[in-house]
Structure 1
Amino acid sequence: MHDWSLILYTLCLQSSVGIYVASRLVLWNAESKEARMRFLYLALGLGIAGVLASLTHLGYPLNALKTMGNLGTSWLSREILLTLLFGVTGIASVVLERQEVGSRETRNGWAVLTSLAGLALIYVMSMIYRTTAFPAWTHVSTTLVFYATAGLIGTSAVFAGLCCRTGGEEPRGLMGLVVGAMAMLALQVMALALHGVYLGTAGPEAQATAALIAGEWSALYWSQIVCIAAGTGIMMPLVWRRVAQKKLANMPQFAGALVALVALGELAGRVVFYATRVKIGL
């Protein structure tokens, strides 16, 4: 495996987008500046970590800027542009919230622009893989999985953060986060099922990928599904129930276990994504 920089880049950027979007939706009209800033800093930190990871893959990072003249034909050029756009608007969002610049409506409007840039970045990121010489990546399931990753990590991280900060009343938005996480879990499972069907009916390279998934990478593949299902399908409702019943003892441990399960599941899935690719003609 020589793809750790790409694994970290894609996971960190998608997590950054997911946390930003989920937190802004849940805290749209929230009075607590502290809550908004906490998730903004987390999203910003993950975004920076992802960009730094990508630099180790590029070799000569400044060469990436030379591709900016190919926006009309190159998905990589569009990815670089949208990464910069999401980063700049995200940093500006942090400054606007921290300094409370303008009205809440103005800051929320800026958050919408930042969210759209992030969601567009995930789509463009997926298209880079769907237009390669690796048949296992060219299916629409690549796009669906990338969005599911952002949604699962985003909803679980924001949910856990809100639960750990609860005082008297149940934090607003927990039910929406649970429903959102379940929807993203369904999307992830559907995408993996569609991908499996595609691999079994496509060419020899795709079938070779299917053989790798069913063989030496099967344990990691299924651990992805088990971890994500356990995190969102079991731990999240359990934590939600404890918050509703005001059983807050050991809440950071429960919330941390939830996020860890989802994150480990997504990491396992991304490792399998890269490790089982087979190039056309090989």
Structure 2
Amino acid sequence: MNETALIIFSFCMQAAIGIMLCITLGKQLSKDKQFKRAALTSAALSVISVLASLAHLGQPLSALNSLSNLGSSWLSREVLFSGIFMGIAVLNALLQYFKSDNQSLNTVLRWTGSVVGLITVFSMAKLYTATAVPVWHGVNTFVDFYATTIAVGTLIFLATSLLELQNVNKRIFGAIVLVVVIIQASVAVPYAMGLGLNGMAAQASAEILKGMSVVIGLKWLLILGGAGFLMWPVTQEAITTETKSVSGMIYVAVATLICGQFIGRYIFYAAMITTNVGLT
């Protein structure tokens, strides 16, 4: 498998979008917070994502060519919405550091970025489900992409915003992560078990996944373990005497779950077997 650039592109873009969603939620919960570090992280990840996408295309001008079929190509739509989101994320980060008092523009950018981000993830998932790769077909790809977006984005948001969230009830963020990964597992496991009942390409993918059972087991151990581990610190009151302890627990949960989701994205591409042509 040689899809490193695609792994970086999809994973970083979805993480950036998830952070933007959490910034929007966080501002609803605490209007006086700025979340500058989270905004900067979202912008940085979106830039890394787009650069990885250009590396995969081979030539930067190829990105412009890919925009020529917006009416019929999900690849064109993915490129367009990814670029728009990156622009919004970068502008939002600059606004936070140099014009944070402009609350009206700040609000417009947050909400626009969140909506564009959700459309971007949909375009990504739709692109893969429209290919000749049976293992990518169906609702599992949509659930996996949105779950990664929300879970990873929420965790990075927590890790970059702990100081600002010190006196804020963080239960909602831990609950979101836990619910999302449970839904992800409940869809992915039966989908993988039924994959071998489909055509030859799907059966070949099922054999690949069977050979990666240890890696898949590690993936779910890290994802579910990280989500469960997160629930303890975020449901406690982060009083001054416990701040370092709580922060450490959250950082461990963040690292654990993100590693699991990244392994899952590697598996996503490793199981690729086409019926005729591949990703287009």
* Superposition TM-score, scaled by structure 2 size: 0.90
SS of equivalent residue, structure 2 residue 90: helix
Q: Map residues 106-255 of structure 1 onto 2, 5 A cutoff.
A: 106-163=105-162, 165=163, 170-215=166-211, 217-233=212-228, 235-241=229-235, 243-244=237-238, 246-255=241-250
For residues 127 and 77 of structure 1, what CA distance do their matches in structure 2 show? Answer: 12
Give the structure 2 partner of residue 8 of structure 1. Answer: 8
Give the structure 1 partner of residue 45 of structure 2. Answer: 46
Does residue 257 of structure 1 match 2:258?
no
After superposition, the C-alpha distances for 1:14-60 in whole angstroms (9 at most, x for unaligned) are 00000111122113343133xx1110001111111111222221111
SS of equivalent residue, structure 2 residue 43: helix
Does residue 274 of structure 1 match 2:260?
no
Percent of paired sites with the same residue: 27
Identify if the C-alpha distance between structure 1 residues 61 and 103 changes in structure 2 by more than 3 Å, giving closer, same or farther: closer
For residues 103 and 32 of structure 2, what CA distance do their matches in structure 1 show? Answer: 10
SS of equivalent residue, structure 2 residue 126: helix
After superposition, the C-alpha distances for 1:252-272 in whole angstroms (9 at most, x for unaligned) are 432221111111101111111
SS of equivalent residue, structure 1 residue 38: helix
SS of equivalent residue, structure 1 residue 117: helix
CA contact (8 A) 2:23 2:110 kept: no
Identify if the C-alpha distance between structure 1 residues 153 and 281 changes in structure 2 by more than 3 Å, giving closer, same or farther: same
Count of residues paired in the alignment: 275
What's the CA shift for 1:70? Answer: 0.7
SS of equivalent residue, structure 2 residue 187: helix
For residues 40 and 4 of structure 1, what CA distance do their matches in structure 2 show? Answer: 25
When the two chains are superposed, the root-mean-square deviation of aligned CA atoms in Å is: 2.1
After superposition, the C-alpha distances for 1:107-151 in whole angstroms (9 at most, x for unaligned) are 223211111111100110111111111100112210110000011
For residues 160 and 89 of structure 2, what CA distance do their matches in structure 1 show? Answer: 20
CA contact (8 A) 2:170 2:235 kept: no
What's the CA shift for 1:250? Answer: 4.2
For residues 209 and 21 of structure 2, what CA distance do their matches in structure 1 show? Answer: 32
For residues 161 and 44 of structure 1, what CA distance do their matches in structure 2 show? Answer: 13
After superposition, the C-alpha distances for 1:206-238 in whole angstroms (9 at most, x for unaligned) are 1221121112x11111111110111111x2122
Give the structure 2 partner of residue 89 of structure 1. Answer: 88
CA contact (8 A) 2:18 2:153 kept: yes
CA contact (8 A) 1:141 1:194 kept: no
For residues 198 and 102 of structure 1, what CA distance do their matches in structure 2 show? Answer: 53
For residues 119 and 159 of structure 2, what CA distance do their matches in structure 1 show? Answer: 26
CA contact (8 A) 1:19 1:158 kept: yes
For residues 267 and 239 of structure 1, what CA distance do their matches in structure 2 show? Answer: 23
For residues 276 and 71 of structure 2, what CA distance do their matches in structure 1 show? Answer: 28
For residues 7 and 171 of structure 1, what CA distance do their matches in structure 2 show? Answer: 36
Identify if the C-alpha distance between structure 1 residues 243 and 272 changes in structure 2 by more than 3 Å, giving closer, same or farther: same
Amino acid at match of 1:20: M
Amino acid at match of 1:236: L
More deviation, 127-136/199-208:
199-208
